[in-house]
């Protein structure tokens, strides 16, 4: 709740804008960024989730409460995706230049691939979770719990 | 197995990816050259493996013990000696302010050390961990007199500190606090009330314990706007007199048994106001923000140890043949690391750990830029990122720390190995940082579910 309830609206949304500037700035400065399309998709998903919260949370704080956990996880997966792209980029440059610790750099490349193929896709269902809102979480009344 | 610090990964991440090799170009961090950072990584790794790790299992088996006669707490065998070495190595002073005897090094390095300590004995790491929060709160909000009295000894590790927030009826909703602070004639306050879940509230590692206590002044509003912060020492620094701040017992927990989690009874104990009256929340957040990042490192530390043990076991345990033909034809079976589903678990652990380490150190590096960069715009941007990412580091790293420990447990449970018992302890330990997520999502019940016997 600290993230969606407080941090997103601090300074008129400046905090999350700083994050998007960091992420999109990286893609802009690095046209050959590894896993560029996957990362771009994740950033877009995070933008959509943020927009959904901006549209729904102010009129219904429970929507923010319902989205808190998947939104935080989506943020984490996206930022970690950005960092895996950077790690893979550095590993590629060093391998090409014949520098550094070869097994470590090769493992970084394989690990980045695993991240984008096996872990990053979770971002898609997190976005769907967020956008489906609070209804199914809050639907049960007292008599339903004891039915 | 002996812990091996992820030193090569750290150097790659800090120097080649994040640009921490340039921290020494900032005036405040002129000492933090790549050589020094590299030496800190190696020394901390050695300390963790050789001094801290050997205390972990005995700590978990023995736990802390409470004597109701003396109201004192004894830590497990070896904790005092290991803590002494931690202090002698200057590790409590690493990123603390220079003017009170700290080393003034970048916070990024503190993150690095925190991870290693938490990998090897999280319980022991909690004592200096909480002290660090107390140092930051006093440094940011305390009067000069309070700073002179307490900071040097807390930073040197001669004394430890606590954070006394929670009460039986009051967890995440601090407006519900009942502990009272009544003014004395000499400018101090008499503190009365009961606090629970106080990490390091009473123990035998040091001679004095400095409690930072949230309490209400007479007539203060019954909301978070009516809370003030007080410093309450176990022994009064001028007279050495025992202050009536007594441990009423130890909390029963699933894990972190070597960490003394105490019920604390303040029976008119003498305290001094930290910062402004009724502004305790802002001082509390100084401690809390830092504590949240540290809790994230606890999650990562456990996730890393779980991964290292899993990897070692997957290489050594022989079961079945590889689906693509024998890989260990001279042995009775192949090591389980050949199986795709075992790889799935190992890769998930490895890739998430390295990614979480990148996220944490990215945040740590931004924290350093936010305090030390000459350009105000850079400082502000870095601070924005730190504020946004602090809850992310805390929650994601503890969730995955827990997942990783339980995931690792699957190797042993599935194979009915004698190590299962050992691993259950790891999972129980991982419950602790995961349960401190409660304030994030206001899920107080997780804490209770996890820690009540």
∠ CA B441-B194-B165 to the nearest 5 degrees?
35
Q: Give the DSSP letter string of B25-81.
A: GSGGGTT--HHHHHHHHHHHHHHIIIIIGGGHHHHHHH--EEETTTTEEEPPTTHHH
pLDDT at residue B298 in the model:
92
Q: Looking up tokens 């939104």, which residue turns up? A: A71
ipTM of this model? 0.97
Given a cut of 70, the residues of chain B with pLDDT beneath it are: 409-453
Which one of B341, B355, B367 makes the best mutation probe of the A interface by having the most chain A beta carbons within 10 Å? B355
- How far, in Å, CA of B202 to CA of B265, rounded? 11
Which residues of A fall within a CB distance of 8 Å from B396?
72-73, 76
Asked if residue B3 lies in contact with residue B49, where contact means CB atoms within 8 angstroms, the answer is yes
Residue B386's closest chain A neighbor by CA? A15
Whole-angstrom Cα distance, residue B107 to residue B155? 15
Residues A26 and A32: their CA atoms lie apart, in Å, by 10
pLDDT in tens, A24-63: 999 999 999 999 999 999 999 999 999 999 999 999 999 9
Nearest chain A residue to B378 by CA: give it. A18
**Distant-in-sequence contacts of A6-11, Cβ < 8 A, 24+ apart:** A7/B387, A7/B388, A7/B391, A8/A50, A8/A53, A8/A54, A10/B387, A11/B384
How far is Cα B223 from Cα B207, in angstroms, rounded to an integer? 35
Q: What pLDDT was estimated at residue B416?
A: 42
Residue B387 to residue A7, Cβ atoms within 8 A:
yes
Q: pLDDT at position B333, please?
A: 95
Going by C-beta distance under 8 Å and a sequence separation of 6 or more, which residues neighbour residue B101?
Answer: B93, B151, B152, B155, B156
Q: With an 8 Å Cβ cutoff, are A83 and B350 in contact? A: no
Beta pairing class for B159-164 and B180-183:
unpaired
Residues B60 and B78: beta-carbon distance below 8 Å = no
Q: How far apart are CA B186 and CA B180, in angstroms?
A: 17
Report pLDDT for B450: 37
B85-112, pLDDT tens digit by residue?
999 999 999 999 999 999 999 999 999 9
Residue B238 neighbours by CB distance under 10 Å: 7
Beta pairing, strands B72-74 & B65-67: antiparallel
- Plot region of B249 (φ>0 → left; ψ -120 to 50 → alpha; else → beta): left
What are the structural domains, with CATH classification, of chain B? 7-65+77-146 (1.10.540.10), 159-279 (2.40.110.20), 282-451 (1.20.140.10)
**pLDDT for B429:** 65
CA-CA distance, B375 to A110, in Å (whole number)?
A: 38
Q: Which two tokens stand for residue B31?
A: 């000492």
Determine, for residues B358 and A72 on separate chains, whether the beta-carbon distance falls below 8 Å. no
* Coil, helix or strand at residue B246: strand
* Residue A12 with chain B: CB contacts under 8 Å: none
Residues of A in contact with B350 (CB under 8 A): 111
CB B315 within 8 A of CB B299: no
The answer to whether the Cβ–Cβ distance between A18 and B17 falls below 8 Å is no
Kindly report the length of chain A: 147
Percentage of chain A beyond pLDDT 70 is 100
Instruction: Please tell me the predicted confidence (pLDDT) of residue B440.
Output: 38
Contacts of A125 by beta carbon, 8 Å cutoff, 6+ apart? none
**Angle, alpha carbons B118-B122-B124 (nearest 5°):** 120
With CB atoms and an 8 Å threshold, state whether B384 touches A18.
Answer: yes
If you average pLDDT over residues A83-95, what whole number do you get? Answer: 98
Strands B65-67 and B261-274 turn out to be unpaired
Query: What is the sign, positive or negative, of the torsion defined by CA atoms of A51, A57, A58, A59?
Result: positive
Closest-CA residue to B138 (of B272, B333, B339, B314): B272
Q: How far apart are CA B415 and CA B2, in angstroms?
A: 22
What is the reported pLDDT for A6?
84
Taking the C-alpha atoms of residue B213 and residue B138, their distance in angstroms, rounded to an integer, is 12
**Distance (Å, rounded) from C-alpha B308 to C-alpha B345?**
12
DSSP assignment string, B154-220: HHHTSEEEEEE--BTTBSS-GGG---EEEE-TTS-EEEEEEEEEEETSS-SSSSEEEEEEEEB-TT-
pTM value? Answer: 0.93
Helix runs in chain A, H state only: 14-29, 36-56, 61-96, 102-114, 122-131, 135-138, 142-145
* Inter-chain residue contact B391 with A100, CB threshold 8 Å: no
Given a cut of 80, whether residue A92 has pLDDT beyond it is: yes
pLDDT for res B159: 98
Domain boundaries, chain A: 2-134
- Residues in B touching A3 (Cβ below 8 Å): 388, 391-392, 440
- The CA distance from A90 to A112, in Å, is 12
Helix (H) or strand (E) holding B362: helix B340-372
Element at B239 (helix H, strand E) = none
Q: Tokens 């429970």, residue?
A: A62
CB distance B105 to B23 below 8 Å: no
- Angstrom distances, CA of residue B22 to CA of B17, B25, B29, B30, B80: 11, 6, 9, 9, 37
Q: Name which of A19, A87, A104 is nearest B388 (Cβ-Cβ).
A: A19
Please give the structure tokens belonging to residue B357: 């380490």
């Amino acid at each position: 709740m600290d993230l969606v309830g407080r941090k997103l609206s601090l300074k008129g949304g400046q905090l999350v804008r700083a994050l998007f500037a960091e992420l999109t700035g990286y893609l802009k400065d690095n046209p050959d960024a590894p896993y560029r399309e996957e990362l771009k998709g994740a950033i877009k998903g995070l933008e959509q989730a943020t927009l959904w919260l901006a549209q729904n949370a102010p009129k219904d704080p429970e929507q923010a409460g319902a989205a808190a956990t998947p939104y935080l996880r989506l943020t984490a997966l996206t930022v970690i995706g950005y960092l895996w792209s950077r790690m893979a980029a550095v590993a590629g440059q060093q391998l090409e230049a014949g520098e550094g610790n070869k097994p470590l750099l090769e493992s970084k490349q394989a690990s980045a691939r695993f991240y984008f193929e096996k872990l990053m896709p979770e971002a898609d269902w997190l976005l769907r979770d967020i956008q489906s809102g609070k209804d199914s979480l809050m639907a049960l009344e007292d008599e339903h719990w004891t039915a | 197995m002996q812990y091996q610090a992820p030193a090569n990964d750290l150097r790659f991440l800090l120097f080649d990816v994040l640009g921490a090799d340039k921290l020494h170009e900032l005036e405040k961090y002129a000492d933090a050259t790549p050589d020094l950072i590299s030496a800190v990584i190696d020394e901390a790794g050695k300390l963790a493996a050789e001094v801290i790790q050997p205390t972990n299992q005995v700590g978990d088996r023995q736990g802390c013990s409470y004597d109701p006669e003396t109201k004192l707490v004894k830590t497990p065998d070896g904790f005092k000696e290991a803590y002494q070495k931690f202090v002698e190595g200057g590790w409590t002073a690493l990123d603390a302010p220079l003017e009170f005897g700290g080393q003034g090094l970048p916070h990024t390095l503190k993150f690095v050390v925190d991870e290693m300590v938490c990998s090897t004995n999280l319980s022991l790491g909690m004592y200096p961990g909480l002290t660090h929060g107390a140092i930051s709160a006093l440094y940011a909000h305390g009067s000069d007199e309070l700073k002179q009295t307490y900071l040097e000894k807390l930073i040197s590790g001669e004394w430890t500190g606590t954070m006394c927030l929670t009460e039986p009826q009051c967890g995440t909703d601090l407006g519900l606090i009942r502990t009272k602070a009544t003014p004395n004639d000499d400018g101090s306050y008499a503190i009365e009330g009961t606090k629970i879940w106080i990490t390091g509230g009473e123990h035998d590692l040091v001679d004095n314990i400095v409690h930072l206590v949230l309490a209400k002044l007479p007539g203060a509003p019954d909301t978070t706007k009516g809370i003030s912060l007080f410093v309450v020492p176990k022994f009064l620094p001028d007279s050495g007199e025992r202050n009536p701040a007594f441990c009423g017992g130890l909390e029963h927990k699933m894990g972190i048994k070597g960490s003394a989690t105490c019920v604390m009874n303040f029976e008119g104990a003498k305290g001094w106001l930290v910062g402004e009256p009724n502004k305790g929340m802002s001082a509390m957040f100084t401690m809390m923000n830092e504590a949240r990042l540290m809790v994230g490192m606890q999650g990562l530390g456990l996730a890393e140890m779980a991964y290292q043990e899993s990897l070692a076991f997957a290489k050594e345990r022989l079961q079945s043949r590889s689906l693509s033909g024998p890989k260990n034809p001279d042995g009775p079976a192949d090591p389980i690391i050949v199986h795709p589903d075992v790889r799935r678990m190992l890769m998930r652990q490895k890739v998430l750990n390295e990614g979480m380490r990148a996220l944490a150190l990215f945040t740590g590096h931004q924290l350093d830029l936010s305090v030390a960069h000459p350009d105000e715009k850079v400082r502000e941007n870095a601070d924005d990122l730190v504020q946004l990412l602090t809850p992310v580091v805390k929650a994601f790293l503890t969730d995955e720390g827990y997942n990783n420990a339980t995931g690792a447990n699957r190797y042993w449970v599935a194979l009915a190995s004698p190590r299962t018992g050992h691993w259950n302890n790891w999972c129980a330990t991982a419950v602790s940082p995961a349960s401190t997520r409660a304030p994030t999502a206001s899920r107080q019940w997780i804490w209770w579910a996890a820690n009540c016997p």
